[in-house]
Amino acid sequence: MTTAVLITGTSSGIGRATVERLARRPELTVYATARRAESIADLADTGARVLALDVTDPASMAAAVKTVEAEHGAVGALVNNAGYGEYGPVEEVPLDRIRRQMDTNVIGLAHLVQLVLPGMRRAGRGRIVNISSMGGKVTFPLGAFYHASKFAVEGFTDVLRTEVKPFGIGVSLIEPGVIRTGFGSTITSTLSENTAKNTAGDSGPYAALKKAQDSLVNSGGTMERMAGSPDDVALAVERALTATRPRPRYVVTAHARALIATRRLLGDRGWDALVTRMYR
């Protein structure tokens, strides 16, 4: 008997690497999903099943879960990976974009958990892995709504872990640091779009902050050296799914571990001072 693993957001980066890694395990049947199934059609070559799943569409999520349950009785493991970062000053990001950020990163994740839990409880077992970020522990300017979504995932996962443990369901959180994916380009594009929507544009009160952000993201060098690979995160997911006693948290990359520890040691004022120097 194989375990059915449902993974969201597999068109690129961490999600794709996770499919490729898990599909090599004969005891797992991997379901790769994305908003457009055709964008991940090639993942069928790994042995994965390909499904359409949009985490902002409840009907799409329900259909995907029903497909897996029809073939396996229950979703054996859920990997909530779909997400993105909305960047811009708090004052300037439009409400519709804030709602989309939360809908994608938090509400969709939570609803998928609701959909798979009844089957897992009936089976008396299951694993849920939520991909968060070091951004759920440390914060940087212009990422308020991304950080808010990841802080929410942290709290949600902590509560979920204790609620479902009596039913034989294990829950883990993955906290990656900087990873070599398209996330940097997402930061740049959302920041640019939100700047364009603001009449002040590049000459507004946050212009210097935006310029510093662009330099940090696009300068390469130190940022590139700090970055881990998508497969580093996929390995952590594999461990969370297959360990007899999975950890509550897996922090991925030495840089992420160092930043989280630094934030804890410095306290609020110390961290604020450090970030101010970084963005000066």
Is 132 assigned a catalytic role? yes
Query: Cα–Cα distances in Å, from 9 out to 31, 131, 146?
Result: 11, 11, 17
Q: Residue 106 and residue 155: Cα distance in Å, rounded? A: 11
d(CA 76, CA 117): 10
Mention every residue, 6+ apart, whose C-beta is less than 8 A from residue 63.
Answer: 53
Active site residue 211: no
For residues 48 and 19, the answer to whether their CB atoms sit within 8 Å is: yes
Which entry of 84, 87, 132, 133 is annotated as an active-site residue? 132
The verdict on whether 189 is a catalytic residue reads no
Which residue in 84, 87, 146, 206 is the catalytic one? 146
Known active-site residue 185: no
Side-chain half-sphere of 106: how many Cα atoms within 13 Å?
20
Active-site residue among 150, 172, 210, 250? Answer: 150
Backbone angles phi, psi at 49, to 5 degrees: -85, 145
Catalytic residues: 11, 132, 146, 150
